[in-house]
Amino acid sequence: MSIQYVVEQLSDSYGVADSFPKDFGYGEEPDMEDSPSPSDSKPRILLMGLRRSGKSSIQKVVFHKMSPNETLFLESTNKIYKDDISSSSFVNFQIWDFPGQVDFFDPTFDYEMIFRGTGALIFVIDAQDDYVEALGRLHLTVSRAYRVNPEINFEVFIHKVDGLSDDHKIETQRDIHQRANDDLADANLEKLHLSFYLTSIYDHSIFEAFSKVVQKLIPQLPTLENLLNIFISNSGIEKAFLFDVVSKIYIATDSSPVDMQSYELCCDMIDVVIDVSCIYGLREDGSGSAYDKESMAIIKLNNTTVLYLKEVTKFLALVCILREESFERKGLIDYNFHCFRKAIHEVFEVGVSAQRPLGSQAVGSPCNKAVALNGTPRNTV
Ligand SMILES: Nc1nc2c(ncn2[C@@H]2O[C@H](COP(=O)(O)OP(=O)(O)OP(=O)(O)O)[C@@H](O)[C@H]2O)c(=O)[nH]1
């Protein structure tokens, strides 16, 4: 594969952490507490499930760049691990990783408070294990949570499917889907909607699933999709993803179908760009940023496909897939990109100012379902 690769870095970085370490600045000491404090007003994504189902691994792999093999050495979580990723990611939320063995329906445990401020509840089921007990716990969890806050998005990750054959995967998904919905129907909870995803930390499926979970929480999603559609149709681009660089979650894409291979290619491109930038892009004294407003990359593949990455905001990058002949009109693409970037900044500026008065609302207001977004700082527009 012949790769023509360009990464440009200027010294005027603007606000991303000075260095761009392996964990992208997520390495703060975890906030370990048994119960939430009233100040935890950020929208939450809860990770729940039985012990050893893979919750901490998912969190570490998606948000902390941990390699899947390293998760073999993760110790069991004993307390709720609250991960506030708002300082380094576009999506301004907290992820709460629950210890599997804790009974969160213990009367001393304020589950009403937890569920009220929750945007999405991800329930992780180990597909390599007997899942009968997990289904019981899923039902208990979602039915309680639904009664407290029917606005929560309920997401079920049928996890560790790397160990299953394709047929077995489909059969497992069908069976879990059927049983979980039967349990809900028996409890007269037909309105409670569960979404199912087959996931593994050993491939991109976990990033894809997390992308879908996060997208549901972004109120501006239709606008973003519209902007992407207009941008690609006027620029001869085949597919475009708007990525949160830190997590490789795509927060929006155009309306053409997503194929896993394209998504993986774009994820790999982000890894390459950031890794090369970390090694060669920083100043000699280690200062500077691996991702800033001058970050861009072009990778030409030997099958006449071009990958084009450009910075959109300090957290977001646009990654496009296009044919070589379309790339000959790079001037047009860049002009359209300029307009697209401006529009995105405007969307989030409006979003940020519209959210401001809501900031003082109590935890549990319906607004908490939507993830607050790290908008674009004014001075970068
Ligand atoms: N094969 C496979 N193993 C996985 C996957 N995800 C996690 N694991 C393994 O599952 C084991 C348990 O993972 P953890 O992340 O510690 O599970 P947990 O749900 O956080 O466990 P508790 O903290 O005890 O609640 C680890 O050995 C992981 O390496 C996966 O997608 N596939």
pLDDT at 225 over 90: yes
Q: Which residue has the higher pLDDT, 111 or 306?
A: 306
For residues 147 and 199, is the Cβ–Cβ distance under 8 A? Answer: no
How many other CB atoms are found less than 10 A from the CB of residue 140? Answer: 13
> Average pLDDT in the 183-188 region?
92
**DSSP structural state of residue 365:** S
ipTM of the complex: 0.97
Residue range(s) defining the domain that contains residue 224: 220-354
Q: Are 153 and 59 in the same domain?
A: yes
Q: For residue 158, is it within any domain?
A: yes
Q: Which residue has the higher pLDDT, 191 or 90?
A: 191
Q: Are 88 and 105 in the same domain?
A: yes
CA–chain centroid gap for 279, Å, is 25
pLDDT at 367 over 60: no
Q: Tell me the C-alpha distance between 234 and 347, whole Å.
A: 20
Q: How far is the CA of 79 from the centre of ligand 1 (A)?
A: 16
pLDDT at 227 over 90: yes
Ligand 1 binding pocket includes 53 (Cβ within 6 Å): yes
Q: Are 224 and 211 in the same domain?
A: no
- Binned at pLDDT 50, 70 and 90, residue 18 comes out as very low
For residues 197 and 158, is the Cβ–Cβ distance under 8 A? Answer: yes
Q: Are 238 and 194 in the same domain?
A: no
Q: Where is the domain boundary, 217, 236, 266?
A: 217
List pLDDT tens digits, range 345-361. 888 876 555 554 433 33
pLDDT at position 299 is 94
Helical H segments across 284-329, by residue range: 324-327
Q: For residue 187, is it within any domain?
A: yes
Ligand 1 binding pocket includes 203 (Cβ within 6 Å): no
* CATH code of the domain containing 255: 3.30.450.190
Q: Are 213 and 237 in the same domain?
A: no
Number of domains observed in the structure of the chain: 2
Distances (CA, A) of 316 to 88, 247, 352, 375: 11, 10, 16, 10
Q: Which residue has the higher pLDDT, 76 or 314?
A: 314
Q: Are 336 and 264 in the same domain?
A: yes
- Binned at pLDDT 50, 70 and 90, residue 207 comes out as very high
- Pick the residue whose CA is nearest to atom 7 on ligand 1: 54
Closest CA to 20 of 359, 286, 263: 286
List pLDDT tens digits, range 83-103. 766 555 666 666 777 766 556
Q: Name the 3-class secondary structure at 103.
A: coil
pLDDT at position 92 is 62
> Average pLDDT in the 99-116 region?
70
Q: Name the 3-class secondary structure at 198.
A: strand
Q: Tell me the C-alpha distance between 285 and 287, whole Å.
A: 6
What's the mean per-residue pLDDT of the chain? 78
Q: Are 334 and 211 in the same domain?
A: no
Ligand 1 binding pocket includes 72 (Cβ within 6 Å): yes
- Binned at pLDDT 50, 70 and 90, residue 219 comes out as confident
Q: Are 90 and 178 in the same domain?
A: yes
Ligand 1 binding pocket includes 76 (Cβ within 6 Å): yes
> Tokens 């401001």 map to which residue?
356
Q: Which residue has the higher pLDDT, 17 or 299?
A: 299
Q: For residue 76, is it within any domain?
A: yes
